Structure 1
Amino acid sequence: MDIRKQIGEELLLFDGAMGTMLQKYGMKAGQNPEALNLEDPELLSRIHREYVEAGAQFITTNTFGANAYKLQETGYSVTEVITAAVEIAKAATAGTGAKVALDIGPVGKMMKPIGLLDFDQAYDYFREQVTIGAAAGADLILIETMSDLGEMRAAVLAAKENCDLPIFATMTFTEDGNTLTGTEPEIMALSLDALGVDALGVNCSLGPKELIPIIKRILAFTNTSVMVQANAGIPVTEAGVAKYNVVSKAYLEVAKELAGLGVSVIGGCCGTTPEYIRDLQQAKASFAKREINKLKRYVCSAQKKVCLDGQITLIGERINPSGNKALKEQFVAGNPLAAIKVAFEQVQKGADVLDVNTSLPMIDETDYMTKIIDGMSGLVEAPLQFDSTKPEVLEVALRRYSGVAIVNSVNGKESSMAEIYPIVQKYGAFVVALCLDEAGIPDDADGRTKVAQKLIDRAAEYGIAAERLLVDCLVLTAAAQQKAVMETLKALRWVKENTQALTTLGLSNVSYGLPFRALINRTYFAMALTSGLDTVIINPGADGIVDTMRAFNVLSGQDEGAIDYIDYNNKKAVVKSDGPKQENVVRSYREMLLEGDETGIMKATNALLKDNTPLAVVDDHIVPALDEVGKLYEQKNIFLPQLIRAAETAGKAFETIRAKLAAGNEKLESKGTIVMATVRGDIHDIGKNLAKVLLENYGYDVIDLGKDVPIEEVVAVAKQRQVKLVGLSALMTTTVTAMEDTITALREANLPVKVFVGGAVLTEKYAKAIGADYYCKDARAGVTVAEEVFSTM
């Protein structure tokens, strides 16, 4: 079976859950599943054979957690575990035609900015797994259960660059339709499509029926084959054992619907067994081959997408040290905060995309571009356009960036195309294509269109469709080359009418050297819009630019009913009436938290401490600001990266207050002490760590017992410290019974504690069934619980 040729031509069947089968056959709580490849290979072989006999065409290796970070406590090396796992699977499938998929799951540490894991570290973990697995004989790479788009991209690039095997990539989504870090299904599809994976989709997450709306959204945004491996519903407790509520026949009915929608690959995740796979073979008859349709063009960050085929796209140009002394000084000092502030300002003024120009001779441009990307990640939602004259800087930017970006720029010189096009193709980026070549900028429209056509033709040779080019016909200053201004518009119209490329202009050049530049800019902008301009690179705060764009959208029929135009001008009127009052207002704590402005919040805190008591600063400023941010999170206006960054920024305010108190031999009173632990047998502590960060920055003391914590230790510490609240976390289906046992032990010890629980395998109904007082669906919910518990003391 040639996997790449067969995918999309018929419904392909993966196997089901490994953890469920290991638990069925007696895997002990706390036992590392991947270690069994060496300790009990016959058990793994038995499970693989059962799935093959059930009809699975793809067998997944028992390597979900086989990375250097997760294996460090087992004493086994990654090479030992993965090699054994692949060999076991190959032997179990020998002579059957089934293929072996090397299973790769998350590292187990959160990526920056939520955690400490950076892109390069994640890449190295995955590269090791891929290299070993490919050498051992795996037939394809399966990257699954990812919740962070940045981590997924690191894994995909590690696979693409270290083997030539097909790559299947699936992420996990919550009930609100986003990943844990706020990535929508559409953005996942756009980003993975750009990297050229062979199949993309969803695994784990929810039951099969609940995944249908998410799958439909993905299918509408990609022409890549789509894969689904759902859970067998939501687990319920029976006699202390987690059981799933979707039986194989019910799972099959949803699988038939998914196959009819055009899903190409189906298997099972938590709770599914060989019985499910055996039944899934009946879904093959329902498979409907998808038609490949032309999709709209989008750029995106990990949390926001912008359609380039819709209304005019405004690309903010102000993150550029040229001509900006203050920004240049911050660039030289290596401080990305100034650029982040400019980014927020431009978004507030209407920018859809942000151009990031780091071209400055006296800095390490690669290092600074990395700092800006890391600093903006999770804070600035607008997609980015990377602007540099150095190919190596553009490569690093596209590599680390979670989303689909624009490169600024390539030109018609052979050397430029040879340097830039391979990078653009590799990362699936869009690119600004300048109509100049070795002969310079042509004087007339005909000369520029010839360069434009050359750029389009050469892009095709690199596998880049014309649809990914933003052709810039180059506007020169009207003060010096007045006739050329109209030639630019002629060339722009030709590109729009005769090619599939998009159009753009660095518009402010037209007014250089003339008085009343704003008038020239907005007038030429209107002329360009009527000539077919798709995107514009300009300062969004420039007088009249956004106004002209909004008016054009009405007059051209793009803003149907003038709804956006009226809403925009109503808001503008309100801002204008309040303008004088706003000039001297210090930025609110909330704004500083959302921007991650640690320096600003420390200065503001020190200023408030001159006239207020430390407790008043906490109660009247820090906590209310955190509450406002929390409400934005609950309303899904921001997502986990912003929430955690806000909490960490608030932590700097608390540090400032503690330092002030320490100078006077005083101490900030704790709002309460909480014991937290990941239960016995569970080695995952991501959720617990996120909750801990939030609770600590709300003023609570957290005693973190770590992961795989014995029941006796939880009880002993709770008793010794006389705490009123205990938090328990479990991610694995095999350890939920340990959570129930821990709660039971706390009750039997007659401790006056409340217990809150959280984890991917839990529901509110399940939490109540095991005796918990509170169920926390996310890290933020822990703060609400703590406030309720300690307010009644």
Structure 2
Amino acid sequence: MNVVEYIKNNILLFDGAMGTMLQQKGLKIGENPELFALENPEKLMEIHKLYLEAGCNVVTTNTFGANGLKLDKLGYTVEEVVENAVKMARCAIEKVDKSKPRYVALDMGPIGEMLEPMGTLSFDNAYEIFKRQAIQGEKFGVDLIIIETMMDLYEAKAAVLAVKENTNLPVFCTMTFDENERSFTGCMPESMVATIEGLGVDAIGVNCSLGPKQLLPIVKKICKIATIPVIVQANAGLPDIIDGQAIYNVNKDDFYEGVQKFIEAGASIIGGCCGTNPSFINKISQNLDKLEIVEIEKEIKSIVCSPSKCVEIKAPTVMGERINPTGKKLLQQSIKNGNFDYAINLGLEQINAGAEILNVNVGLADIDESKMMPRILKEIQSVIDVPLQVDSSDIKALEQGLRYYNGKTIANSVNGKEESLNSILPIVKKYGACVVGLTLDENGIPQKAQDRFEIAKKIVDKAMEYGIKKQDIFIDCLSLTVSAQQEEAIETLKCIKMVKEKLGVKTILGVSNISFGVPNRKALNSSFLTLTLGYGLDLPIINPNEENMMEAINSFKVIKNIDKNCVEYINKYNTITNNKNINKSKENNSELTLKQVVQRGLQEDCKSITTSLLQKYSEDKILDEILIPALDEVGKKYDSGEIFLPQLIQCAETVKVSLNVIKESSLQKNDKSVYKGKIILATVKGDIHDIGKNIVKIMIENYGYEVIDLGKDVPIEVVVEEAKKRKIKLIGLSALMTTTVVSMKETIEALRKEDMDVKVFVGGAVLNEEYAKEIGSDYYSKDAKSAVEIAKLHFEK
């Protein structure tokens, strides 16, 4: 029985941690686990055998980091590492009891570099790296692929597509979340499920980072909304670092109690991650007959999302219409020039006015829309976290938008023509998007509501045949201008009601089409919007900057008892708040300041404004009184959870643009005082992960400090030598792996022996404040923001 059939009616048991077991077999600190196993295949086979004898169904290959980006640099190939790993897993299965189903899962972990726009690795390059792994896994005979420990939703999407498009293997996907129920890059569990399940994986869930107790609330959220089997592989609690080793605080009995709760919450695929060993798996296996799959009542919602924001489509959900070049010369020109700051500003203004989703259209006659669409989506998503709708009549542009969008989007649109249905619906299904269905066909737009309804039914039926869920279908009953087709306005309203009542799907409508060619369009638009809401419109596409449109929306929420006790309405329209809104509106329409540009992440505007300010103010004044306060405010929003890592980095990169202009100005004046101090950053010996260090570098540089980045896997003597040669006063050391924290301690000890006047701060996922003190560091940095505070404390005291 293949694994997909098995998980329909059975609890599937994975193995436990690999790293800890390899250390017991002789893996040294900083040594590559995949290469150690390549050189010691029998030791790897023995680990698999121990887990199989403990009772697991699935052994996971030792290929977590077996990607070309890492291995090629070390002189090895993906092919040889994967072949060895799969072979050893198969050999182990041959040596154990075969009375229960046994499977081999190819393990694919994060690449180790951040994807654009947060990092420099492109989506396509990430895809190719995962593709190479996946193809080799299928070639050498694995039964499934598990993509695990993903921190970035975009990277997870690239991995899933690489597997789905290049193999016929089942695929499971898990991400890792912190106790704040967000991934490292700010992704929500709900966004993961909406996006990754939509791509057609066979199981979805969470692994690593937390113990059973801390993971349970996240697991419950996932189980409530996932419609496929849920997989959970928890750590053995939260580790304490003792003498450079991670000591986990959950034993096998407590771990099993946690597993019971996962099953009760609705999970049906179980295993162990960091700190677990064969005894943990055996405890579960011995009690497996006491566990039964629990059917959980699901929350079926119409959801669109970015990684950090989910929006449920329900009446009324406002979609902003203004990122559309039709009739907008400034937007047309900015798109042609590849400068998307103008579009981003349009988006931010609409969000401030109340838009929950933004429509994005780049339809211009003299551009390649299929290339422009993914570019503008990436740029907008680097600053704005609300979900986007991909709007195009060009099927290639629509597909490119769906492929490169980070999250779950809406495809606008398909219609009742056979050609449209058969070409667009398969794309929508493949990428797990929602879809807008226009009530027109080969004969155009019917005059009567009943005829439009028949087209709507055809679209819904066909979409469901392709496997698109009902909650992901939005019908547009089409509004036509009353200046030419006045009698048909009421037919649109009738059709909305029929679609809602008889088909049970959501409705969407471009409201302002009603008023083309007549004076005082705002009044007509507002009146029509009010009527459509009363007839059941869920998703009005409007200009939220028009106050009367938002007044209609907000009033409807009160009358419909959505805005309980009129709280939102009163807050928005009392006298004091109204004055604030007026001032805010004026601010939006005035020329942006450098501080606003930084906080919005508008890099093009940042360069010109900084150049202009340098004619009036000194470099230090701009840095100390504008840039740093702006970053401080952004940092506070990051700390409070208002924004997440992508937005923080985008703001920091924007400051970098301004800093480059300032540095250039200083060099022309032979003034090198722009730097407040020099700081060395290094990932310690044996550790090849530098994501965290790179983020710290960006932030520290933007506060006016010069960073000497020594890179990753830095020998102790190099850190000491560079510190002495450059007369460094502050050093930051990073470690992500539990096996390399000893290197951090040894580096600090080496620096102390030189009796230098230098302070050391340390950071990394495996560290805590207590261990930072234990190894002799002066400061513990939990994130990039705290690293900046340490630099300020050290240089500006």
**TM-score higher than 0.5:** yes
CA shift digits 1:459-499 (9 cap, x unpaired):
12211233221111111111111111111111111111101
The answer (yes or no) to whether the contact 2:599–2:631 under 8 Å persists in 1 is no
Instruction: Give yes or no for the alignment of 1:461 onto 2:442.
Output: no
| Partner in structure 2 of residue 143 of structure 1 | 147
1: CA distance between counterparts of 2:670 and 2:478?
A: 65
| Partner in structure 1 of residue 49 of structure 2 | 49
Instruction: Note the 1:369-518 alignment, pairs <5 A.
Output: 369-518=373-522
**How far apart are 1:719 and its partner, in Å?**
2.4
Pick closer, same or farther for the CA change 1:593–1:262 going to 2, 3 Å: same
Pick closer, same or farther for the CA change 1:329–1:237 going to 2, 3 Å: closer
- SS of the aligned residue for 1:161 comes to helix
- SS of the aligned residue for 2:318 comes to strand
| Partner in structure 1 of residue 572 of structure 2 | 568
1: CA distance between counterparts of 2:146 and 2:299?
A: 27
| Partner in structure 2 of residue 11 of structure 1 | 11
Q: In the alignment, residue 599 of structure 2 is paired with which amino acid?
A: L
Pick closer, same or farther for the CA change 1:785–1:159 going to 2, 3 Å: same
The answer (yes or no) to whether the contact 1:350–1:546 under 8 Å persists in 2 is yes
2: CA distance between counterparts of 1:707 and 1:641?
A: 22
1: CA distance between counterparts of 2:60 and 2:585?
A: 64
CA shift digits 1:261-303 (9 cap, x unpaired):
1211111111111111111225532344223535111110111
Instruction: Note the 1:200-279 alignment, pairs <5 A.
Output: 200-279=204-283
| Partner in structure 1 of residue 636 of structure 2 | 631
Pick closer, same or farther for the CA change 1:270–1:579 going to 2, 3 Å: closer
- SS of the aligned residue for 2:695 comes to helix
TM-score (norm. length: structure 2): 0.97
2: CA distance between counterparts of 1:652 and 1:687?
A: 21
Q: Name stretches of at least 5 consecutive residues in structure 2 with no aligned partner.
A: none
The answer (yes or no) to whether the contact 1:590–1:628 under 8 Å persists in 2 is no
2: CA distance between counterparts of 1:590 and 1:200?
A: 41
Pick closer, same or farther for the CA change 1:62–1:221 going to 2, 3 Å: same
Instruction: Give yes or no for the alignment of 1:535 onto 2:539.
Output: yes
Q: In the alignment, residue 23 of structure 2 is paired with which amino acid?
A: Q
**How far apart are 1:9 and its partner, in Å?**
2.6
2: CA distance between counterparts of 1:581 and 1:488?
A: 36
Instruction: Note the 1:626-775 alignment, pairs <5 A.
Output: 626-775=631-780
**How far apart are 1:36 and its partner, in Å?**
2.5
**How far apart are 1:583 and its partner, in Å?**
7.4
Instruction: Give yes or no for the alignment of 1:305 onto 2:310.
Output: yes
**Mean alpha-carbon deviation: is it higher for 713-722 or for 120-129?**
713-722
**How far apart are 1:354 and its partner, in Å?**
0.8
Aligned-residue identity in percent: 47
**How far apart are 1:575 and its partner, in Å?**
2.5
Pick closer, same or farther for the CA change 1:375–1:487 going to 2, 3 Å: same
2: CA distance between counterparts of 1:401 and 1:259?
A: 33
CA shift digits 1:734-753 (9 cap, x unpaired):
11211122222222332222
| Partner in structure 1 of residue 795 of structure 2 | 790
- SS of the aligned residue for 1:229 comes to strand
| Partner in structure 2 of residue 526 of structure 1 | 530
Q: In the alignment, residue 62 of structure 1 is paired with which amino acid?
A: N
Q: In the alignment, residue 597 of structure 1 is paired with which amino acid?
A: L
Question: Which of 604, 611, 614 does residue 606 from structure 1 map onto?
Answer: 611
CA shift digits 1:420-457 (9 cap, x unpaired):
11011111111111111011111111111111111112
Q: In the alignment, residue 532 of structure 2 is paired with which amino acid?
A: A
The answer (yes or no) to whether the contact 2:105–2:146 under 8 Å persists in 1 is yes
2: CA distance between counterparts of 1:2 and 1:750?
A: 63
Question: Which of 620, 623, 626 does residue 615 from structure 1 map onto?
Answer: 620
1: CA distance between counterparts of 2:242 and 2:560?
A: 62
The answer (yes or no) to whether the contact 2:224–2:298 under 8 Å persists in 1 is no
| Partner in structure 2 of residue 171 of structure 1 | 175
Q: In the alignment, residue 45 of structure 1 is paired with which amino acid?
A: M
Instruction: Give yes or no for the alignment of 1:547 onto 2:551.
Output: yes
| Partner in structure 2 of residue 70 of structure 1 | 70
**How far apart are 1:77 and its partner, in Å?**
0.8
| Partner in structure 2 of residue 91 of structure 1 | 91
2: CA distance between counterparts of 1:64 and 1:600?
A: 42
1: CA distance between counterparts of 2:154 and 2:770?
A: 33
Q: In the alignment, residue 770 of structure 1 is paired with which amino acid?
A: I
- SS of the aligned residue for 1:544 comes to helix
Pick closer, same or farther for the CA change 1:505–1:436 going to 2, 3 Å: same
2: CA distance between counterparts of 1:583 and 1:247?
A: 57
Q: In the alignment, residue 629 of structure 2 is paired with which amino acid?
A: P
Q: In the alignment, residue 406 of structure 1 is paired with which amino acid?
A: I
CA shift digits 1:539-591 (9 cap, x unpaired):
11124111101100110111121112222224750334536974785423342
Instruction: Give yes or no for the alignment of 1:317 onto 2:313.
Output: no
The answer (yes or no) to whether the contact 1:35–1:74 under 8 Å persists in 2 is no
**How far apart are 1:351 and its partner, in Å?**
1.0
1: CA distance between counterparts of 2:307 and 2:494?
A: 37
Pick closer, same or farther for the CA change 1:343–1:240 going to 2, 3 Å: closer
- SS of the aligned residue for 2:73 comes to coil
Q: In the alignment, residue 225 of structure 1 is paired with which amino acid?
A: P
The answer (yes or no) to whether the contact 1:356–1:384 under 8 Å persists in 2 is yes
- SS of the aligned residue for 1:7 comes to helix
Question: Which of 186, 211, 217 does residue 182 from structure 1 map onto?
Answer: 186
**How far apart are 1:236 and its partner, in Å?**
2.2
1: CA distance between counterparts of 2:474 and 2:577?
A: 31
| Partner in structure 2 of residue 367 of structure 1 | 371
The answer (yes or no) to whether the contact 2:341–2:603 under 8 Å persists in 1 is no
Q: In the alignment, residue 92 of structure 2 is paired with which amino acid?
A: A
- SS of the aligned residue for 2:74 comes to coil
**Mean alpha-carbon deviation: is it higher for 590-599 or for 615-624?**
590-599
**Mean alpha-carbon deviation: is it higher for 273-282 or for 660-669?**
660-669
The answer (yes or no) to whether the contact 1:19–1:734 under 8 Å persists in 2 is no
The answer (yes or no) to whether the contact 2:663–2:674 under 8 Å persists in 1 is no
The answer (yes or no) to whether the contact 2:362–2:369 under 8 Å persists in 1 is yes
The answer (yes or no) to whether the contact 2:699–2:785 under 8 Å persists in 1 is yes
2: CA distance between counterparts of 1:583 and 1:545?
A: 18
The answer (yes or no) to whether the contact 1:593–1:650 under 8 Å persists in 2 is yes
CA shift digits 1:232-258 (9 cap, x unpaired):
222223344332222222212211111
Question: Which of 279, 282, 285 does residue 281 from structure 1 map onto?
Answer: 285
The answer (yes or no) to whether the contact 1:10–1:289 under 8 Å persists in 2 is no
Q: In the alignment, residue 536 of structure 2 is paired with which amino acid?
A: G
The answer (yes or no) to whether the contact 1:208–1:255 under 8 Å persists in 2 is yes
| Partner in structure 2 of residue 290 of structure 1 | 295
The answer (yes or no) to whether the contact 1:261–1:288 under 8 Å persists in 2 is no
**How far apart are 1:26 and its partner, in Å?**
1.6
**How far apart are 1:86 and its partner, in Å?**
0.9
The answer (yes or no) to whether the contact 1:237–1:769 under 8 Å persists in 2 is no
CA shift digits 1:355-392 (9 cap, x unpaired):
11111120011221121111122311111111111111
**How far apart are 1:6 and its partner, in Å?**
2.3
Pick closer, same or farther for the CA change 1:580–1:544 going to 2, 3 Å: closer
2: CA distance between counterparts of 1:405 and 1:497?
A: 25
User: When the two structures are aligned, how many residues end up with a matched partner?
Assistant: 791
TM-score (norm. length: structure 1): 0.97
CA shift digits 1:4-32 (9 cap, x unpaired):
12225332211111111111222122221
